[in-house]
Amino acid sequence: MVTDVFPSVGPGSRLQMSTYENVLVPIPLPPESDTLRRAVAAYLARFKGQSRVHTESDLRAYLTWCSSHGLDPLTAQRPHLELYIRWMQETRRYKPSTVSRRIAVVAGFYRTCVIDEVLAHSPAEHVRRPNVPAESPTLGLTHLQFEAMLATARASANCNDFALVAMLGLLGLRIFEACGASIQDLGENTATGSCASPAKAARSS
């Protein structure tokens, strides 16, 4: 079972964990843990916070696929990973960015297995990954979509929601720029009659 691969303990144990955040506390795994479980724990321990949660999710998807095909992940070969990519593309119809991210997690897992001498070589080493456009194919929201988003944000009980949406949509700020801005960072461009921020100005120069 794939669910047995990820570190967990039963109720009443002094090592009981309730979240993935706690699952990866660097404690020695019990001797009966199999090689795959130890390899998974060793790889996920390299991450923390939300990165660990998302990586665990992507790795779990691969291990679930292996389980459904009766494949031991530690005996997988390059053709198996090519089939996994094809399955994500043609059966699940994932976008190239999703396929690329998930196979990158799998490649990272196998790279760690090689580092830890669990495997002699990585089956993902020569796997061909889908091309991901450097720029997002999505141009942005239409006027009607943005107006609907503004209306929803305006009706929110949190006044910050409307301010954030307005800054993102009207100033063209990136999310990290908007979240890091203060009221002193915003000014008015008298030439164009619009607001501006130093972050966007620096990016445009």
Q: pLDDT value at position 14?
A: 38
Q: Which helix (H) or strand (E) holds 99?
A: helix 96-115
- 97 and 151 assigned to the same domain: no
Residue 189 lies in a domain: yes
Give the model confidence (pLDDT) of 1-39 as tens digits.
454 555 443 444 333 333 333 444 344 444 445 899 999
CA pair distance 8, 4, nearest whole angstrom: 8
Judge whether 10 lies within some domain.
Answer: yes
What is residue 193's predicted lDDT score, i.e. its pLDDT?
Answer: 43
Domain coverage including residue 7: 2-115
Of the listed ranges 31-40, 45-54, 113-122, 123-132, the one predicted with least confidence: 31-40
d(CA 42, CA 160): 40
Based on the fold, state whether residues 87 and 149 are members of the same structural domain: no
Q: Which pLDDT does position 46 carry in this prediction? A: 94
Q: Mean pLDDT score of the chain, rounded to an integer?
A: 78
Domains identified in the chain, total number: 2
CB 67, CB 1: distance < 8 Å: yes
pTM as predicted: 0.56
Most confident range, picked from 128-132, 169-173, 189-193: 128-132
Q: Which of 29-43, 45-59, 72-86 has the least mean pLDDT?
A: 29-43
87 has a pLDDT exceeding 90? yes
Residues 105 and 51 in one domain: yes
Q: Contact, 34 vs 65, CB < 8 A?
A: no
Residue 130 lies in a domain: no
pLDDT of 124 above 60 = yes
